[in-house]
């Protein structure tokens, strides 16, 4: 053994050298894993098989994924508490732009008790992690015309 190796082993045994937490595999604090919504927009869609309000949002950091590639988070709009499945926004350069469609019933978000889904109405967007940590963020979204969605996407940077 060389002198350097012996000196290093002796220093670790004596406690003189501290090993960083990242080197021993400990997780970062929960604050680093927090969800922060940077911006969002929403518009009404009436396509066959996808009637509702389409919500597009951007987060500060990418949301966590499963080993299969699925996003470990859900989004909801208005009074709906269960999260809708999120998807990555197709064609977005940053990997932190997401999309989901919230169903409407009788023109209202979340059913009969929800707000009307009309242009100009404001709704609360909630994004929640689905891994049991209950980390979430809320953001107020104003519904826009579908024809203005491309402009809103460019403004959002997606």
From residue 52, give the alpha-carbon distance in Å to each of 116, 118, 122.
Answer: 11, 11, 15
Average pLDDT over the chain, rounded to an integer: 77
* Contact between residue 84 and residue 76 where contact means Cβ atoms under 8 Å apart: yes
**Rg of the chain over CA atoms, in angstroms?**
22
Query: For 100-121, what is each residue's pLDDT tens digit?
Result: 988 888 888 877 778 888 899 9
Among residues 60, 70, 56, 54, the alpha carbon closest in space to that of 131 is found at 70
- Cα gap 91→130, rounded to integer Å: 25
**The model scores a pTM over 0.85:** no
> Domains of the chain by range and CATH?
29-156 (2.60.40)
């Amino acid at each position: 053994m060389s002198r350097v190796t012996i000196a290093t082993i002796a220093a670790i045994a004596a406690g003189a050298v501290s090993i960083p937490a990242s080197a021993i595999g400990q997780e970062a604090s929960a604050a680093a894993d927090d969800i922060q919504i940077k911006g969002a927009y929403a518009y009404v869609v009436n396509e066959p098989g996808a009637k509702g309000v389409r919500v597009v949002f951007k987060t500060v950091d990418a949301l966590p994924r499963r080993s299969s590639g699925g996003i470990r988070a859900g989004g909801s709009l208005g009074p709906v508490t269960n999260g809708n499945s999120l998807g990555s926004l197709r064609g977005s350069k940053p990997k932190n732009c997401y999309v989901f469609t919230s169903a409407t019933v009788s023109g209202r978000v979340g059913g009969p008790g929800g707000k009307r889904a009309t242009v100009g109405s404001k709704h609360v967007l909630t994004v929640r992690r689905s891994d049991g940590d209950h980390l979430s963020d809320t953001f107020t979204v104003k519904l826009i015309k579908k024809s203005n969605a491309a402009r809103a996407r460019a403004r959002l940077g997606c």
